Amino acid sequence: MGSGAIRRRLALAAAVLTASGALAFTAAGTAQAVTAHGCAGREVRTLPFRTGTTYVYRHGGYLCVVTVTRRPGTTSTMSVSVQARGNRPVVDKGRYKYYAGPVVVHAGHRCVRIKGAVGRYAVSSGWILC
Protein backbone atom coordinates (compact mmCIF):
# COMPACT_ATOMS: atom_id res chain seq x y z
CA MET A 1 0.00 0.00 0.00
CA GLY A 2 1.44 3.36 -1.03
CA SER A 3 1.77 6.43 1.16
CA GLY A 4 -1.01 8.17 -0.82
CA ALA A 5 -3.48 5.39 0.02
CA ILE A 6 -2.54 5.53 3.69
CA ARG A 7 -3.05 9.30 3.80
CA ARG A 8 -6.46 8.95 2.11
CA ARG A 9 -7.56 6.32 4.63
CA LEU A 10 -6.36 8.42 7.57
CA ALA A 11 -8.14 11.48 6.19
CA LEU A 12 -11.34 9.46 5.71
CA ALA A 13 -11.12 8.08 9.27
CA ALA A 14 -10.58 11.58 10.68
CA ALA A 15 -13.58 12.89 8.71
CA VAL A 16 -15.81 10.06 9.95
CA LEU A 17 -14.77 10.64 13.58
CA THR A 18 -15.37 14.38 13.30
CA ALA A 19 -18.80 13.90 11.72
CA SER A 20 -19.88 11.31 14.29
CA GLY A 21 -18.75 13.55 17.16
CA ALA A 22 -20.70 16.49 15.76
CA LEU A 23 -23.75 14.28 15.28
CA ALA A 24 -23.50 13.00 18.86
CA PHE A 25 -23.49 16.56 20.27
CA THR A 26 -26.39 17.60 18.04
CA ALA A 27 -28.48 14.53 18.90
CA ALA A 28 -27.86 14.91 22.64
CA GLY A 29 -29.61 18.28 22.69
CA THR A 30 -32.73 17.03 20.90
CA ALA A 31 -33.04 13.54 22.37
CA GLN A 32 -36.20 12.53 24.19
CA ALA A 33 -36.13 10.20 27.16
CA VAL A 34 -37.51 6.73 26.55
CA THR A 35 -39.26 5.21 29.54
CA ALA A 36 -38.91 1.65 30.74
CA HIS A 37 -42.31 1.03 29.14
CA GLY A 38 -41.22 2.03 25.65
CA CYS A 39 -42.77 5.49 25.32
CA ALA A 40 -40.73 8.46 24.19
CA GLY A 41 -41.39 12.03 25.21
CA ARG A 42 -42.36 13.82 28.36
CA GLU A 43 -44.96 12.61 30.81
CA VAL A 44 -48.07 14.80 30.61
CA ARG A 45 -50.57 12.85 32.74
CA THR A 46 -50.63 10.12 35.37
CA LEU A 47 -53.94 8.39 36.01
CA PRO A 48 -53.67 6.20 39.14
CA PHE A 49 -56.33 3.70 40.15
CA ARG A 50 -56.63 0.87 42.66
CA THR A 51 -54.71 -1.86 40.78
CA GLY A 52 -52.45 0.18 38.49
CA THR A 53 -51.47 3.44 36.88
CA THR A 54 -51.91 4.72 33.34
CA TYR A 55 -49.15 7.02 32.07
CA VAL A 56 -49.54 9.45 29.15
CA TYR A 57 -46.49 10.76 27.25
CA ARG A 58 -46.34 13.40 24.50
CA HIS A 59 -43.73 13.73 21.78
CA GLY A 60 -44.58 16.28 19.13
CA GLY A 61 -48.17 15.63 18.03
CA TYR A 62 -48.08 12.00 19.18
CA LEU A 63 -49.37 10.52 22.42
CA CYS A 64 -48.06 7.28 23.87
CA VAL A 65 -50.05 5.57 26.65
CA VAL A 66 -49.23 2.59 28.86
CA THR A 67 -50.99 0.96 31.84
CA VAL A 68 -48.75 -0.51 34.54
CA THR A 69 -49.87 -2.94 37.23
CA ARG A 70 -49.17 -2.38 40.92
CA ARG A 71 -48.31 -6.08 41.31
CA PRO A 72 -45.64 -6.82 38.67
CA GLY A 73 -44.93 -10.46 37.89
CA THR A 74 -48.52 -11.58 38.48
CA THR A 75 -50.40 -12.26 35.23
CA SER A 76 -53.55 -10.13 35.03
CA THR A 77 -56.01 -9.01 32.40
CA MET A 78 -54.90 -5.51 31.41
CA SER A 79 -55.91 -2.99 28.82
CA VAL A 80 -55.02 0.48 27.65
CA SER A 81 -56.66 2.65 25.02
CA VAL A 82 -56.27 6.12 23.62
CA GLN A 83 -58.74 7.84 21.30
CA ALA A 84 -58.20 11.12 19.51
CA ARG A 85 -61.48 12.99 19.03
CA GLY A 86 -62.98 12.03 15.66
CA ASN A 87 -61.07 8.74 15.42
CA ARG A 88 -61.52 5.21 16.72
CA PRO A 89 -59.69 4.14 19.88
CA VAL A 90 -56.39 2.30 19.64
CA VAL A 91 -56.47 -0.56 22.16
CA ASP A 92 -54.07 -3.10 23.63
CA LYS A 93 -55.81 -5.75 25.72
CA GLY A 94 -54.58 -9.08 27.01
CA ARG A 95 -53.07 -11.00 29.91
CA TYR A 96 -49.76 -9.43 30.93
CA LYS A 97 -47.35 -9.57 33.87
CA TYR A 98 -46.08 -5.99 33.87
CA TYR A 99 -47.89 -3.55 31.58
CA ALA A 100 -50.30 -3.16 28.67
CA GLY A 101 -49.24 -1.06 25.73
CA PRO A 102 -47.68 1.13 24.65
CA VAL A 103 -50.31 2.44 22.25
CA VAL A 104 -49.53 5.49 20.13
CA VAL A 105 -51.81 7.89 18.23
CA HIS A 106 -51.26 11.13 16.39
CA ALA A 107 -53.48 13.57 18.24
CA GLY A 108 -52.10 16.88 17.07
CA HIS A 109 -54.08 19.48 19.02
CA ARG A 110 -57.25 17.36 19.35
CA CYS A 111 -58.77 16.21 22.61
CA VAL A 112 -58.09 12.61 23.62
CA ARG A 113 -59.77 10.05 25.86
CA ILE A 114 -57.55 7.66 27.83
CA LYS A 115 -58.66 4.41 29.46
CA GLY A 116 -56.68 1.86 31.44
CA ALA A 117 -57.60 -1.27 33.39
CA VAL A 118 -55.93 -3.97 35.46
CA GLY A 119 -58.21 -6.78 36.57
CA ARG A 120 -61.66 -5.46 37.47
CA TYR A 121 -60.55 -1.91 38.29
CA ALA A 122 -60.19 0.80 35.67
CA VAL A 123 -59.66 4.48 35.02
CA SER A 124 -61.08 6.77 32.33
CA SER A 125 -59.94 10.31 31.74
CA GLY A 126 -62.80 11.79 29.80
CA TRP A 127 -61.76 14.26 27.06
CA ILE A 128 -58.42 15.84 28.05
CA LEU A 129 -55.40 17.67 26.59
CA CYS A 130 -57.60 19.83 24.36
Encode the chain (130 residues) as per-residue pLDDT tens digits.
665 555 555 544 444 444 444 434 333 444 445 666 789 999 999 999 999 999 999 999 999 999 999 999 999 999 999 999 999 999 999 999 999 999 999 999 999 999 999 999 999 999 999 8
* C-alpha span between 42 and 57 (Å, rounded): 5
42-128 folds as: Immunoglobulin-like (2.60.40)
Half-sphere exposure of 12 (CA within 13 A, CB side): 6
